[in-house]
Amino acid sequence: MSWLIHVILTLATAAWLLDGPAVSGVVVAERSPAAERPPLVVVRALGAVPSEHLRGACRVVLEEYPVRCVVRASRGMTQVFSAWDRTREQLDARQALDLLFETRSGDAVVELDITAVDLYEAGKPYVFGLASLPDRTALLSLARLDRGAGEARGDGSGEVARARLRTLVLHEFGHALGLTHHDVADCIMRQDPTVASLDSAPSGPCTDCRRVIDDQLVRLARPGQTALDRARGLLVRDRREQARRTLVHALWTYHPDAELLDDFARLFFEAGQYNEAISLLRHTVTQQPQRAVAHVQLGLAYQQRAREGDLARAVGHFEQAVHLRPDWQTVAEHLEHTRAELRAQGPSVR
């Protein structure tokens, strides 16, 4: 069932986005692009890091993408002390990212943390950097960027080290925006596990990856997006009550539009928090009853919550979605299956 739900949500949402905001003759109010500021990227040091590298990382992002970027106060290594492996004399990058979430900049859509210590990930002798996609946070290491093949560690101030840092910043920035590895020769998102391959890396993303990044940056400029990302990180860590409080704060502070409310609802739905998802989606369909994708999501949330009467409520919202969008064949097929399930249950409260 879970894979089918994912397909229905994905197809319905994609169709909504492709068709635009007009549905059955009703036009949904759109946000004014002029009212949105470019998304904020924050660069911070973890431990002692030369300021030129921090400023350089900001310059790299600013030269490539329409964002704001600031360098903020560094964090001490004590914040990630439990991620330090004394035997390896390396920092566990994945564990460190989890710890850094606690003090991550709340207003940044992406945070890049730069450290001078060597990093590793389970199963690998070292990594240049690592990004957390749910948190939109990346951790980058300078430790190997000044090395040539077999050369001893230097101070990392040369042109070669700066070029490597540029490659690493753009690569991990792409990961933080949701891109996975794209192993084609002309893409910055390819895997470059050695210094030699890092030196031959392309200067930027390929056309496909660039399109995804540009689309993501437009979406991430929405008021309330940082709260959505914070709630996602909390739910990933099973901190549900804090995620709920983040949601409530976002509703009062940002007055998010229907699209962001749908995203919040989907986030709580995927975390199994069906009551929260239902509350958000009921608000959406009350305010915008012609929003077919919200009816689909609300029907799925009722179906998964499975309280008395929920299946009948789900059928009602699937019917409304199909009425608004008769071309959504996958939803229509799911409606028929759900009707059959409802008939098998016998009489119920609708």
pLDDT one-digit tens code per residue, 81-126: 999 999 999 999 999 999 999 999 999 999 999 999 999 999 999 9
Per-residue pLDDT band at 9 (split at 50, 70, 90): low
Answer for the pair 96, 104: CB distance below 8 angstroms, yes or no: no
- CA atoms in the 13 A half-sphere facing the CB of 2: 4
Res 35 pLDDT > 70: no
Res 311 pLDDT > 80: yes
Mean pLDDT score across all residues of the chain: 87
What are the helix (H) ranges across the chain?
Answer: 2-19, 51-64, 93-100, 159-176, 195-199, 207-220, 225-236, 240-254, 258-270, 274-287, 292-305, 310-324, 329-345
- Looking at per-residue pLDDT, the higher value among 320 and 25 belongs to 320
Integer Cα distance of 172 and 61 in angstroms: 11
Res 288 pLDDT > 60: yes
Average pLDDT of 250-279?
A: 91
Query: Considering just the CA atoms, what is the radius of gyration of the chain in Å?
Result: 23
Per-residue pLDDT band at 149 (split at 50, 70, 90): very low
Average pLDDT of 134-151?
A: 82
Per-residue pLDDT band at 154 (split at 50, 70, 90): very low
CA end-to-end span of the chain: 23
- Sequence-separated contacts (24+) of 152-160 with Cβ below 8 Å: 156/50, 156/53, 157/50, 157/52, 160/199
User: Tokens in use for 63?
Assistant: 């030269």
Average pLDDT of 52-70?
A: 96
105 — phi, psi (to 5°)? Answer: -65, 120
Which pLDDT score is estimated for 348? 54
Tell me the Ramachandran region of residue 347: left when phi exceeds 0, alpha when psi lies from -120 to 50, beta otherwise.
beta
Tell me the Ramachandran region of residue 112: left when phi exceeds 0, alpha when psi lies from -120 to 50, beta otherwise.
beta
Res 343 pLDDT > 60: yes
Please give the single-letter amino acid code of residue 254. Y
Average pLDDT of 257-285?
A: 92
Q: Are strands 129-132 and 137-141 parallel, antiparallel or unpaired?
A: antiparallel
129-143 burial, b at 16+ Cβ within 10 Å, e below that, comes to bbbbeebbbbbbbbb
- Looking at per-residue pLDDT, the higher value among 71 and 196 belongs to 71
Q: By percentage, how much of the chain surpasses pLDDT 70?
A: 86
Integer Cα distance of 213 and 297 in angstroms: 26
Place of tokens 């894979």: 3
| Out of 15-24, 37-46, 137-146, 245-254, least confident range | 15-24
Average pLDDT of 305-309?
A: 94
pLDDT in tens, 162-189: 999 999 999 999 999 999 999 899 999 9
Per-residue pLDDT band at 347 (split at 50, 70, 90): low
pTM of the model: 0.79
Contact residues for 138 (Cβ-Cβ < 8 A; gap 6+): 110, 111, 112, 113, 129, 130, 131, 132, 172, 173, 175, 176
- Looking at per-residue pLDDT, the higher value among 148 and 194 belongs to 194
Res 26 pLDDT > 70: no
Which pLDDT score is estimated for 18? 36
User: Active-site positions?
Assistant: 172
